[in-house]
Chain A
């Protein structure tokens, strides 16, 4: 069985839509370790990808005015027990374009694997990008995931990202996103992570509301159990009139796990407004009582509440 077959099988088992990768109208990029196994582009989308010593480097451009009908599917992974995969991405959405990217990152057997993502994203005037990244890890906890992104959004642009790591052990996560939001532009950064064992979770989202009437939301949902540790830092700066930002962090803690939330809100213009809310603790008592009054066992109630916030 080829490496492509292996990763396709893992992709399918992880919930990926295999049919999309065979569709000529749908763009995709599949890489295992530092090998590009498959790629396909569509009209209006330029993808220049090359293999590097320890990963891949890709420059992705959606041309001005092009609105991609189908999501661009990306599948990255390391199928071996050990290895490093460094993904360098330079994504540009030109003026008035729009695209959705769906990324699956798969590390089913990882014992000692590093997955590093360095992304630079530029959203042109009036352009819109939606990016969702879902991780599927094995149960050993031997993965280190380091996603970093620097995003700039021009006037009227929109950038939405959704990071999910709720299957398998997290291992070590060090997520670091910074988004500079221009005039009348909008961003939403959402992260959902479920940590077990001795997982270490470190999330740092930073939104700079630079332009007039810029909007930003940071939403983080983390559940941790056993001896896992999580630290979530949500930073939002309101630097222009009419800018509005909100930081919303919720962490549910079980067993001996330890959670920390650090919301940092700063306003440098009297016409800006930034708010935050953070809730850390065990599962809400009233929620538990309500579900138990419906006849659910305590452990069933906890499971529903945790899965709900990570959904």
Chain B
């Protein structure tokens, strides 16, 4: 039994078939693995993340999402979180009046915030008492979000483009954090469109046009992705592999 199993999921933004974003998508994530999901912009990667997390307005038209063998159905977000699923949004939202230390200890008051901040490359002395508000840069906010879900020790962490907005020099920090999830025993669904980030995964899948078109060894999937073998990506008639 896979930790997460997506079975033939169809999702449409509204009732019209022309708004179909996920088109019979199937794939799985195993416990404890880093599974990269590669795809160009607009292929439905973030939509899939919202469906797994159970965000408002995101329910499949058909198909199933199973977690540890059970259908997630219409469970609300907090129930999914308590099952062990969590998510770091591509652009984390800001909060007024909540310090970084408070944010990191939302669910675990004993968390070592200094250690968490250091792990994501932020100086605890400079950041612990700052607010999680607009004064933080996009990259700083993103690192804090990663730290805040790392401390939860989830069974499945969905990371939606954790590298976006992070400078190239700091990519190593982000890779270290992703690796830390695995060391904690968490599985990671790593959504990205950068194949070099995906190379740290145990397995990869490539999405195109609302479907997973190939899965397997990260190097091979990355090669496939880079070469734009998918017809939709290369502008040719699509032939799923």
For the complex, is B96 an interface residue (Cβ under 8 Å from A)? yes
Contacts of A289 in B (CB 8 A): 53, 55-56, 77
The CB with the most chain B CB atoms within 10 A, among A221, A296, A297, A308, is that of A308
Known contacts A292-B78, A293-B53; A284/B93 CB under 8 A: yes
Q: How far is the CA of A161 from the CA of B76 in the complex (A)?
A: 42
**Which residue of A is nearest B132, CB measured?**
A308
For the complex, is B97 an interface residue (Cβ under 8 Å from A)? yes
Contacts of B53 in A (CB 8 A): 289, 293
The answer to whether B78 touches A298, judged by C-beta atoms less than 8 angstroms apart, is: yes
The answer to whether B77 touches A305, judged by C-beta atoms less than 8 angstroms apart, is: no
- Interface window among B81-89, B113-121, B161-169, B174-182: B81-89
Q: How far is the CA of A160 from the CA of B87 in the complex (A)?
A: 40
The answer to whether B56 touches A285, judged by C-beta atoms less than 8 angstroms apart, is: yes
Q: A293: which of B86, B95, B98 is its contact (CB, 8 Å)?
A: B86
Contacts of B93 in A (CB 8 A): 284, 286-287, 290
Interface of A is mostly: helix
Q: A295: which of B56, B78, B95, B97 is its contact (CB, 8 Å)?
A: B78
Closest chain-A Cβ to B92's Cβ sits at a distance in Å of 7
Contacts of B97 in A (CB 8 A): 307-311
Q: How far is the CA of A308 from the CA of B103 in the complex (A)?
A: 11
For the complex, is A294 an interface residue (Cβ under 8 Å from B)? yes
Number of interface residues of A (CB under 8 A): 24
Known contacts A289-B55, A304-B106; A294/B95 CB under 8 A: no
For the complex, is A291 an interface residue (Cβ under 8 Å from B)? yes
Contacts of B86 in A (CB 8 A): 293-295
Known contacts A294-B149, A295-B152; A311/B96 CB under 8 A: yes
Q: How far is the CA of A285 from the CA of B97 in the complex (A)?
A: 17
Closest chain-A Cβ to B131's Cβ sits at a distance in Å of 8
Q: How far is the CA of A239 from the CA of B148 in the complex (A)?
A: 46
The answer to whether A293 touches B106, judged by C-beta atoms less than 8 angstroms apart, is: no
The answer to whether A293 touches B56, judged by C-beta atoms less than 8 angstroms apart, is: no
Contacts of A305 in B (CB 8 A): 95
Known contacts A285-B56, A304-B106; A293/B87 CB under 8 A: yes
Contacts of A308 in B (CB 8 A): 95-98
4 tightest Cβ-Cβ pairs between the two chains A and B: A311-B97, A308-B97, A292-B77, A295-B81
Which residues does A use to contact B, with CB under 8 Å?
221, 250, 284-287, 289-298, 301, 304-305, 307-311
